[in-house]
Amino acid sequence: MNIFSFPSTRQSPADPVHDQARDWLLLLTSGRATVADAKALQAWIAQSPAHAQAFEQAKLLWRQLGAATEQSAPSRQFGRRAFLGGAIAATAAVVMVRVGVPGGFAGLTADYRTEVGEQRQVAFSQGVSLELNTQTRISRVGQGIELLEGEVEVLAQLAQPLKVQAGEGWVSAAQARFNVRNTDRNVCVTCIEGSLTVDVSGRSVRLENGRQLTYGAGRVGEPVAVDAQAVVAWREQVLVFNNATLATVVDEINRYRPGMLVLLNKELGQRRVQARFSLQQLAGVALLIRDAYGAKCTELPGGVVLLS
């Protein structure tokens, strides 16, 4: 006999929307969810009021079960089973497919890697040093490298150009310091010092100090002037946001902290942010967002915080 009974939130097992809502919540608390998963959840919730309501009910049931199981430690596992119900098999399959490894399956065999919140220096070769940011995967390609996912600052002091592949393009530089970021299938190349060339989609673009180029999904932007020091502020354990949307800020923070912030309010996500965060502040950043923007915070296991 199931000792946990919440009639107000119980739904028919045949209701696919509520089954999917439970699947989403389980994925979020699995420890394997990615930023892409969070965006997919936002799109799923936005499909209809019924989807949004189903997710709210799933959250409510989770909280109720959590409160009930806290009263009896031996019952905790059983209480979670009451929530899982028939959704567990489907969710296990989702988690197995969405391993969440940066760089996809190729990232599993990367030569250099960092985990969430980790930064690492690599002496790649004589005249080339790499600074890997959080959740980065890099493989050797001949005498050069391929940035599979994440972000790297490269210092090249060579007679012949170093080749760096990122997405559909190649960066070539002999005497330069530059930052390359490859996330969500979008690549951003910033020249910090010296000069470099980016070859992508049949174009060859030269970048000097303080110039940046973005490309991805068959699109190549135009070079723009940027604050190069803000781009590489992560080297100093700082994140800098200049008039960025809150949705962009949340996505970036998720790269650095365990768990995940999931922004469920689209209007809130469009708010503009001017901020500077130390990486040491990120554990409590959800409360900062709550206080600054009036967001409602719902905490889930595994460091997951829902912002609505």
For the segment 168-206, what is each residue's pLDDT rounded down to a tens digit?
Answer: 999 999 999 999 999 989 999 999 999 999 999 999 999
End-to-end CA distance of the chain: 35
Kindly report, residue by residue over 93-112, the tens digit of the pLDDT: 333 333 455 565 556 779 99
| CA gap 305, 55 in Å, rounded | 14
Domain end, chosen from 230, 253, 282, is at 230
| CA gap 100, 35 in Å, rounded | 9
Long-range interactions of 246-252: CB distance < 8 A, separation 24+: 246/270, 246/271, 246/272, 246/273, 246/289, 246/293, 248/273, 249/273, 249/275, 250/289, 250/307, 251/35, 251/39
Model pTM score: 0.74
How many Cα atoms sit within 13 Å of 39 on the Cβ side? 10
- Token look-up 């989702």 returns 94
For the cut 70, the answer to whether the pLDDT of residue 14 exceeds it is no
Query: What value does the mean pLDDT take over residues 301-308?
Result: 85
How many Cα atoms sit within 13 Å of 130 on the Cβ side? 29
Domain end, chosen from 81, 97, 113, is at 97
Q: What are phi and psi of 35, to 5 degrees?
A: -60, -40
- 5 inside domain: no
3-class DSSP state of 229: helix
DSSP 3-state percent helix, strand, coil across the chain (nearest 5): 35, 35, 25
48 and 146 fall within a common domain: no
- 3 inside domain: no
The number of distinct structural domains making up the chain is 3
CATH code of the domain covering residue 272: 3.55.50.30
pLDDT at 106: 57
| CA gap 24, 91 in Å, rounded | 8
